[in-house]
Amino acid sequence: MSREMYNETNLDKIEVNAEPPIEEPARQYYFMAKCREWVREFERINGRRPSFFTQTFGCQMNARDSEKLSGILETVGYQSTESEQADFVIYNTCTVRDNANQRVYGRLGVLNRYKKSNPQMKVALCGCMMQEPTVIEKLKKSYPFIDLIFGTHNIYKFAELLYTSFETEGMLIDIWEDTDRIVEDLPVERKYPFKSGINIMFGCNNFCSYCIVPYVRGRERSREPREIIREIERLVADGVVEVMLLGQNVNSYGKNLDEPITFAQLLQEVEKIEGLQRIRFMTSHPKDLSDDLIAVMKQSKKICRHLHLPLQSGSTRILQQMNRRYTREQYIELADRIRREIPDIAITTDIIVGFPGETPEDLEETIDMVRRVKYDNAFTFIYSKRTGTPAAAMENQVPAEQVKEGFDRLLKVVQDTAREQVAKYQGRVMEALIEEVNESDASLVTGRLSNNTIVHVPGDASLIGKIVPVSLDECHGFYYIGHCV
């Protein structure tokens, strides 16, 4: 792991007995200094540093948020552990589908038992699920042992909340309905030294009719380009070679800034950063993908040959009910244009099966779309009814057996298509960023091609973080076995 302290603030120089500053991030550094005093007292009494464990559910944005939580915990003196029996356990939750919620409730039962055997243990919950009032009611009623609950909009206040919870008996809850602020320059603890996610925007304004994200992440807010560039420059100085620009709909980046800028323009600025070698981004909404973006990708030496372009459904009728604002024909035309301009690009997607009113014919159209676009990979999801979204109130919910049957049929076509696409590169030499030692065979390391395909090659840990040419010798379905050349 590696930590960036964006702020030169030395916690020792902060006067902890003074009133807390009003402005951010100074206020949070003040509370970090206060927390550190608390941690030192813990150390004096227990003869060891307190430990922490974070568990992230959901998307890359949540993963990045968890790195911010870890950054603060490490800064104040906590020690990270892989064990859930830690002194501080925090779950950063997701609520995009109901099974994400169920996993959290399941884990909470286990935590309750751990807490009974370690009375010093503190349990915190944050993230998207906490933005739902029904969830908070349930937690208050059935999980009273939780110490701290906060949401997505006030995560920047984590140091302050942590300190307040040290001083509070029982459950501390702080949830905001929305926010227009973005607080910069808090510490971050990266999971990988050589690659990093970067938030370029927060929230979503699209309100796809099935989706809860706009309700739990609030309205779209873009970060200032200079803040993004500054963050990436610092990451590169700290050893990062690949960045992933993150937003629910990166193609609408910059529209609401005082000095508007497009996503394509931002990419051109990021491209100029010396020492940065690879640029990825997630997610692109098809309705906002511009010709400028395709042109910038085509010319770029750094932007990876991978585009995640969620389809959701191949039926225009269902797309309209989903409020996706493109038709089947528009999507096909867009995918064709991208493949024509950037022939070696991998296109991946997300698909939902069982949206209200979906007929077997609609699903056939989706399956046909997978064959036509030839997705390099697709994440398929069974529709999950999210309370408060327009689709939850639709009457014609699809029976579970029909959904299951359709889902299996779709999955098979997705897998066949993906295998064919991946196999196209057999025998080629391509560059891979080596990410880790192979989990099941320590004589191999695992790398990722620009198009996101995984390749395992003989090698050792000294290769991690390096971009090396590899020969793609044997295709094994979704990955390659190869060797460095």
Which residues contact ligand F3S (rule: CB under 6 A)? Answer: 58-59, 61-62, 94-96, 128, 213, 216-217
114 lies in the site for ligand SAH, by CB under 6 A: no
- Taking every pair of C-alpha atoms in the chain, what is the biggest distance, in angstroms? 68
By CB under 6 A, what part of segment 194-213 binds ligand SF4? Answer: 204, 206-208, 211, 213
Alpha carbons 218 and 213: distance in angstroms, whole number: 8
By CB under 6 A, what part of segment 296-325 binds ligand SF4? Answer: none
Using CA atoms, how far residue 180 sits from 154, 201, 221, 263, in Å, is 11, 12, 7, 20
- In the bound state, the residue with its beta carbon closest to ligand F3S is 58
- Cβ neighbors of 50 (< 8 A, separation 6 or more) are 39, 42, 43, 77, 78, 79, 87, 88, 120
Alpha carbons 379 and 208: distance in angstroms, whole number: 17
Of the residues 84, 350, 405, 431, which one makes contact with ligand SAH according to CB under 6 A? 350
61 lies in the site for ligand SF4, by CB under 6 A: no
285 lies in the site for ligand SF4, by CB under 6 A: yes
CB 199 → ligand SF4: shortest distance, Å?
A: 14
What is the phi/psi pair of residue 21, to 5°?
-65, 155
Q: Which is nearer to ligand SAH, 11 or 352 (CB)?
A: 352
128 contacts which partner out of ligand SAH, ligand SF4, ligand F3S, none, CB within 5 to 8 A by kind?
ligand F3S
386 contacts which partner out of ligand SF4, ligand SAH, ligand F3S, none, CB within 5 to 8 A by kind?
ligand SAH
211 lies in the site for ligand SAH, by CB under 6 A: yes
Alpha carbons 402 and 364: distance in angstroms, whole number: 13
95 lies in the site for ligand SAH, by CB under 6 A: no
Of the residues 11, 32, 73, 96, which one makes contact with ligand SAH according to CB under 6 A? 96
54 lies in the site for ligand SAH, by CB under 6 A: no
Query: Checking DSSP bridges between strand 444-449 and strand 429-437, what pairing results, if any?
Result: antiparallel
Closest CA relative to residue 413, chosen from 320, 314, 300, 293: 314
Q: Which residues pair with 197 in a beta bridge?
A: 244
Closest CA relative to residue 165, chosen from 35, 47, 33, 68: 35
97 contacts which partner out of ligand SF4, ligand F3S, ligand SAH, none, CB within 5 to 8 A by kind?
ligand SAH
CB 217 → ligand F3S: shortest distance, Å?
A: 5
Q: Which is nearer to ligand SAH, 28 or 283 (CB)?
A: 283
Q: Which residues pair with 312 in a beta bridge?
A: 351
Determine if residue 218 is left, alpha or beta; phi over 0 gives left, psi from -120 to 50 gives alpha, anything else beta. Answer: left
Tracing tokens 């009375």 back to the chain, one arrives at 119
Alpha carbons 432 and 451: distance in angstroms, whole number: 10
58 contacts which partner out of ligand SF4, ligand SAH, ligand F3S, none, CB within 5 to 8 A by kind?
ligand F3S
Closest CA relative to residue 455, chosen from 477, 424, 480: 480
Q: Which is nearer to ligand SAH, 201 or 470 (CB)?
A: 201
Alpha carbons 376 and 349: distance in angstroms, whole number: 8
The residue range among 152-160, 170-178, 181-189, 379-387 that interacts with ligand SAH, by the rule CB under 6 A, is 379-387
94 contacts which partner out of ligand SAH, ligand SF4, ligand F3S, none, CB within 5 to 8 A by kind?
ligand F3S
Of the residues 68, 122, 217, 386, which one makes contact with ligand SAH according to CB under 6 A? 386
CB 209 → ligand SAH: shortest distance, Å?
A: 9
Which residues would be at the binding site for ligand SF4 (CB under 6 A)?
204, 206-208, 211, 213-214, 248-249, 285
